[in-house]
Amino acid sequence: MYEFDWSSIPGALPFLWEGMKISLEITLTAVVIGIVWGTLLAMMRLSSFRPLSWFAAGYVNLFRAVPLVMVLLWFFLIVPKFIEQLFGLPPGSDLRLTSAMIGFALFESAYYSEIIRAGIQSVPKGQMAACSALGMTYGQAMRLVILPQAFRNMVPLLLTQAIILFQDTSLVYVSALADFFGAAYKVGDRDGRLVEMLLFAGAVYFVICYTASQIVKRLQKKYHPA
């Protein structure tokens, strides 16, 4: 039988925490940018101006058709070159974290925009008509009437998507960036304790994501008693 040896974990905790901070940083940036850009995309998609809705539909469908791993590989390829030229940085600067943040933010926007679009469409049409009747502009109606109600309905879905996103950040492994999972893998590989470190990483993700999803469920019951 395999003999477990968990002794490399306590000493590695500070390093793992550094990794966790990277995972959380990527998640947070992607959630914030994803919701803002996702809202704009959703409004474009619902716009009656055809080129705008085509652009949004194309953007969303493209990102949703390509695997996240492939999207990340693209961004790790393109973003560093682009930024180096833009800011005149020396070639070979470490821009993996920036690339990961941009990649996740643009990728998640596509998913957020679908959630937000459904949220906007769930607001009864009469509300928009009432706004127009009151003399509000489109922007005012969206900002003051439609979006506040839409977002209230969407909160659980937006949070669930954030949990999925947090899990997906582990894929920055393809660029050897030391997020929480990358850090755990490195320690396990170094100490010859891959079995223990992988199980530990799995347990940590499980505890965080399970707790978060239970909190979301509570919120949902509180605001939308079935």
Q: Which is nearer to another protein, 73 or 145 (CB)?
A: 73
Contacts of 189 (CB under 8 A, 6+ apart): none
User: How far apart are the C-alpha atoms of 139 and 88, rounded to whole Å?
Assistant: 39
Interface mask toward another protein for 129-148; x: CB under 8 A = --------------------
CA dist list (Å): 98 to 8, 27, 82, 186, 221: 30, 12, 12, 21, 37
Q: Rounded CA gap, 94 and 114, in Å? A: 33
DSSP codes joined into one string, 1-69: ------THHHHHHHHHHHHHHHHHHHHHHHHHHHHHHHHHHHHHHT-SSHHHHHHHHHHHHHHHHS-HH
- Least CB distance to another protein at residue 202 (A): 5
Is 213 a binder of another protein (CB under 8 A)? yes
Smallest distance, Å, CB 120 to another protein?
A: 20
Does residue 63 contact residue 74 with C-beta atoms inside 8 Å?
A: no
Binding mask 158-197 for another protein (x = CB under 8 A): ---------xx-xx-xx------x---x--------xx--
Show the binding pattern over residues 15-54: x = contacts another protein (CB under 8 A), - = does not. Answer: ----------------------------------------
Q: Is 88 helix (H, G, I), strand (E, B) or coil?
A: coil
Closer of 213 and 220 to another protein (Cβ)? 213
What would the x/- binding string for another protein be over residues 58 to 87, using CB under 8 A?
Answer: ----x--xxxxxx--xx--x---x---x--
Site residues (vs another protein, CB under 8 A): 1-2, 62, 65-70, 73-74, 77, 81, 85, 167-168, 170-171, 173-174, 181, 185, 194-195, 198-199, 201-202, 205-206, 209-210, 213
